Amino acid sequence: MRLAFLSLFEGYFFMTPNYFEPPAPLIEIKDLRFGYSERLILNGINLSIPKGQVTAIMGASGGGKTTILRLIGGQYKAQSGSVVFDGHDIGKLSTPELMSVRRRMGMLFQFGALFTDLSVFDNVAFPLREITELSESMIKDVVLMKLDAVGLRGAKDLMPSEISGGMARRVALARAIALDPELVMYDEPFAGLDPISLGTAARLIRRLNDAIGLTSIIVSHDLDETFQIADQVIVLANGGVVAQGTPDEVMRSNDPLVHQFVTAAPDGPVRFHYPSPTFAEDLGLPVVAPIQSSLNSNMSGDGA
């Protein structure tokens, strides 16, 4: 009987498709190059964002993290290579096609970027009124549901000036998910938050990702909170991807730059001083040879 059960179980197990396969990618970036004027920011990078997971993009300031979000959203176009969202090459879409794809994306900007002259309710209702043809009664129901999901239904009538920074970030999140997007991108969602608000925001991102079935991309410098909620971490540096894997895999990386980043070490591949001439050259002072070198040269000549 036991053998028969095992045989039946094994037959079901091996017939179940994709049981151990990783999630399919929602976004694929291939051989992408992008820069500003003559300054190259991203140099032939390749990465993928799996569906249904939280992916963190990290790295030193100026490394191209926010630029990647703008390339995915179609604000910028790659100079070469491609950004593919669910089979659509973003750089090749017409304006109507791009607008249609953007409706499947939500964006939480740094510090929330709420409309200061609109109430909390109207901020969340804004994309619904602009893009959909829903009735006001339906919009009200949707807004209240989204605000309830972030714990702020009771703050619906307040103005942005009347709520804290952490609450503003949660209102912005409610607005980002108002249209039920498949992808939500977070640009520094934890910047400027106190520890309580930061922890609340991090847990909320994770919970909404799993409950609604979102795909989330977080650009952040906050290692502790980001590593706790991310499924995948991508570290950018020097125009490329220097590490990609689970938080544990990235933490154990032997790459000197990744090690410096995750340990916040002051010395390493990333230097404190930006490359520059010597201080004497900048001040216009004459360059004087070191005294010790001169003495050694004289002593060497006497000995000869």
How far is residue 280 CA from its own chain's centroid? 41
How many domains would you assign to the chain? 1
Please, what are the averages of pLDDT over each run of 10 residues along the chain (304 residues)?
44 44 83 86 90 90 86 90 92 91 86 86 92 90 91 91 87 89 89 82 88 90 88 88 89 83 72 72 75 53 48
Residue 190 lies in a domain: yes
Predicted local confidence at residue 264, as pLDDT: 73
Predicted local confidence at residue 291, as pLDDT: 61
Predicted local confidence at residue 195, as pLDDT: 84
What pTM does this model have? 0.77
Nearest CA among 231, 274, 240 for reference residue 258: 240
Query: Is 175 exposed, middle or buried (CB count within 10 Å of its CB: 0-12, 13-18, 19+)?
Result: buried
Kindly compute the dihedral angle of the four CA atoms of residues 107, 112, 118, 121, in this order, to the nearest 10 degrees. 70
Predicted local confidence at residue 256, as pLDDT: 82
Residue 19 lies in a domain: no
For residue 77, the domain's CATH number is 3.40.50.300
Residue 272 lies in a domain: no
Q: Which residues contact 108 (CB under 8 A, 6 or more apart)?
A: 169, 172, 173, 176, 184, 185, 186, 187, 189
Predicted local confidence at residue 232, as pLDDT: 93
Residue 53 lies in a domain: yes
Predicted local confidence at residue 8, as pLDDT: 42
Predicted local confidence at residue 216, as pLDDT: 93
- Residue 235 sits in which domain range? 26-263
Angle, helices 120-131/136-149, rounded to nearest 10 degrees: 130
Predicted local confidence at residue 262, as pLDDT: 79
Residue 254 lies in a domain: yes
Residue 303 lies in a domain: no
Predicted local confidence at residue 24, as pLDDT: 83
Residue 4 lies in a domain: no
Residue 278 lies in a domain: no
The structure tokens listed for 55 are 């992916």
Instruction: Give dist(CA 229, CA 55) in Å, integer.
Output: 9
Predicted local confidence at residue 143, as pLDDT: 94
